[in-house]
């Protein structure tokens, strides 16, 4: 099973700041990586797929990068509504999720 | 508009069974890749099953042999039959289309 490790566990930033979230895979997943956000009481929402492609309707401030084992989700300028838990997911060998990074807006 | 509505959750005793439904509208179930994902209270996301358009279904090791996915094409509904339920199956269960569209989830609680 491919294990995904996300860091940091919690990120506390102010509106307008840049957020950088990391996801590391235990073995290469090529570019088969997706990012989701989830707000309390809601279903996950797909942000990024194939490591760097934005899903329909996702604002341009969200971007993904990386390949192999190291991936990054960047939120260029945080908005208050970006407060959520962010998960990465690999789709290379079955499907597994990381444990999540909580983004708090000060 | 794509819509997914899960139902069938509830409280069940350990060892019991439950069948969840995922009613789809706005698209044809059998023409799309569908999955079930669960989330234990306060925990992260866990993939449960994936069903391809040709009907092949794959299961996570944690549920293999206990959970079964089926589809009713006339109702455009997917089901998750869950048997031999355990405490660690307690979770909100979501169905998803292509990982893009998700239902609101249904809560399954396994407890005596």
Give the best residue of B50, B57, B99 to mutate against chain A (max A CB count within 10 A): B99
Task: Return mean pLDDT, chain B.
Answer: 96
What percentage of chain A reaches a pLDDT higher than 70? 100
User: What are the chain A neighbours of B100 within 8 Å (beta carbons)?
Assistant: 46, 55-56
Q: Does A95 touch chain B (CB under 8 A)?
A: yes
Question: Do residues A95 and A4 lie in contact, with contact meaning Cβ atoms separated by under 8 Å?
Answer: no
Among candidates A43, A56, A87 on the partner chain, residue whose Cβ is nearest the Cβ of B103:
A43
The predicted-structure confidence for A45-58, as pLDDT tens digits, reads as follows 999 999 999 999 99
The predicted-structure confidence for B53-106, as pLDDT tens digits, reads as follows 998 999 999 999 999 999 999 999 999 999 999 999 999 999 999 999 999 999
CB atoms within 10 A of CB B72: 12
The whole-number pLDDT of residue A89 equals: 98
The whole-number pLDDT of residue A55 equals: 96
Among candidates B37, B44, B102 on the partner chain, residue whose Cβ is nearest the Cβ of A99:
B44
Alpha carbon of A33 to those of A42, A62, B49, B68, B96: distances in Å? 22, 15, 18, 27, 17
The predicted-structure confidence for A75-93, as pLDDT tens digits, reads as follows 999 999 999 999 999 999 9
Q: Does A99 touch chain B (CB under 8 A)?
A: yes
């Amino acid at each position: 099973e491919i294990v995904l490790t996300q860091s940091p566990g919690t990120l506390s930033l102010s509106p307008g700041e840049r957020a950088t979230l990391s996801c590391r895979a235990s073995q290469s997943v090529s570019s088969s990586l997706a990012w989701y956000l989830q707000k309390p009481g809601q279903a996950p929402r797909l942000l990024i797929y194939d490591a760097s492609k934005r899903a329909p309707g996702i604002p341009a401030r969200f971007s993904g990068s990386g390949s192999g084992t190291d991936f990054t989700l960047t939120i260029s300028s945080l908005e208050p509504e970006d407060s959520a838990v962010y998960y990465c997911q690999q789709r290379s060998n079955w499907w597994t999720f990381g444990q999540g990074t909580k983004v708090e807006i000060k | 508009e794509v819509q997914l509505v899960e139902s069938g959750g509830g409280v069940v005793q350990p060892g019991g069974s439950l069948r969840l439904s995922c009613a789809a509208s706005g698209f044809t179930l059998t023409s799309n890749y569908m999955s079930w994902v669960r989330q234990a209270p306060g925990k992260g996301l866990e993939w449960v099953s994936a069903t391809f358009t040709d009907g092949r279904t794959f299961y996570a090791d944690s549920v293999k042999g206990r959970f079964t996915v089926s589809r009713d094409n006339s109702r455009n509904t997917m089901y998750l039959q869950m048997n031999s339920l355990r405490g660690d199956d307690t979770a909100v269960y979501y169905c998803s289309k292509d990982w893009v569209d998700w239902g609101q989830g249904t809560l399954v609680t396994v407890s005596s």
